[in-house]
Amino acid sequence: EGDEDGEGTEVYGSDIKKIKEQRIKELAALLNQKK
């Protein structure tokens, strides 16, 4: 079962990076609005 997670991260690594970048941009925008 643990191996499945490892393979998943390798296959979808690029997608995860894109999602994380989008979330960071959204969080940054929210913080800027609050300021």
Q: Residue 20 is encoded by which pair of tokens?
A: 């994380």
Whether this prediction's pTM lies above 0.75 is answered by no
* b/e burial code for range 7-24 (CB count within 10 A of at least 16 → b): eeeeeeeeeeeeeeeeee
Poorest-confidence range of 3-7, 17-21, 27-31? 3-7
Domain ranges of the chain: 2-34
pLDDT, mean of residues 17-27 = 94
Q: Residue 2 is encoded by which pair of tokens?
A: 């643990």
Contacts of 16 (CB under 8 A, 6+ apart): 9
